[in-house]
Amino acid sequence: MKEVNFKQKKKLIRTRGVSLLEALVSTAIIGIGFVAILQMTNYSVQSVYTSGERTKANYLSNMIAEDVIGNKTAGGDKSNFSEYLHGETDLGEICTANNPGSDDNSGNIYGGATKANALIPPEMKLRKWKAILNSRDYMNCVGKNETRKFRIFKIKADWATGAADKSNPNIKDEMLYIGRVQIKLNDGKKTKYLYFQSDYKLKGPQTLEEETLAEEQDDIVAQEEDEDKDG
């Protein structure tokens, strides 16, 4: 047999290939890289989904605001649409129900089949909003904390009479209506708010009581200004 010297043995050892340990280490490094890539992919998919839901929430909020502003006189048995909607209205029950599904009125927002059974215009608008916000074709829901509500606030001047949620001395008109659309997303972790002025009542002729109240308010303001100057 031909003897193999030390240099040839060393060369043979180097050319035998990778060991089992080296292969395992390489596989582990590649696996860690793939796990990081998969996590980034999952995060990207969730970000795209969340962004899409927020975009739809913006669009639907603007739709409700435009409907209220564009139909001010459609008040039914009330003086205006904002007066008819005064208070809080729950527009979405699809996420809070035990068995979520489409709204019962999704395909019938106009009421009865005949003109005599048709709904009044403001009720049609309410059915339209509920039909859209309770349909998974428009917005999805991932938990029971996702609520969709609409509210009209009435703010009156200090001198004005009549019921209101709040009075404000800075209001010059008789009544101001403020609308608020509230849509909660991502199981209630994200909330979309939209505030807008839905309507107002101009300052009309004042009664003797209103004139007296306005004069007293002006006197109080003037007295406070004098005290600030003296101070």
In a domain, 65, yes or no: yes
Q: Across all residues in the chain, what is the average pLDDT? A: 76
Report the alpha-carbon distance of residue 101 to residue 116 in Å, rounded.
30
In a domain, 74, yes or no: yes
In a domain, 110, yes or no: no
Average pLDDT of span 18-44? 79
Domain coverage including residue 192: 45-93+141-221
Report the alpha-carbon distance of residue 77 to residue 60 in Å, rounded.
27
Residue 220 has pLDDT above 80, yes or no: no
Average pLDDT of span 21-30? 80
Q: Are 91 and 60 in contact (CB under 8 A)?
A: no
Lowest mean pLDDT among 26-35, 196-205, 220-229: 220-229
Taking the C-alpha atoms of 140, 196, 178 and 153 in order, what is their torsion angle to the nearest 10 degrees?
Answer: 20
* Terminal-to-terminal C-alpha distance of the chain: 117
In a domain, 36, yes or no: no
Q: Are 133 and 67 in contact (CB under 8 A)?
A: no
In a domain, 134, yes or no: no
Q: Report the number of distinct structural domains present in the chain.
A: 1
pLDDT per position as a tens digit, 35-63: 888 878 878 888 888 888 889 889 999 99
- Whether the model clears a pTM of 0.85, i.e. scores above it, the answer is no
| pLDDT attached to residue 153 | 92
Cα angle vertex 129, ends 74, 190, to 5°?
130
In a domain, 53, yes or no: yes
In a domain, 177, yes or no: yes
In a domain, 227, yes or no: no
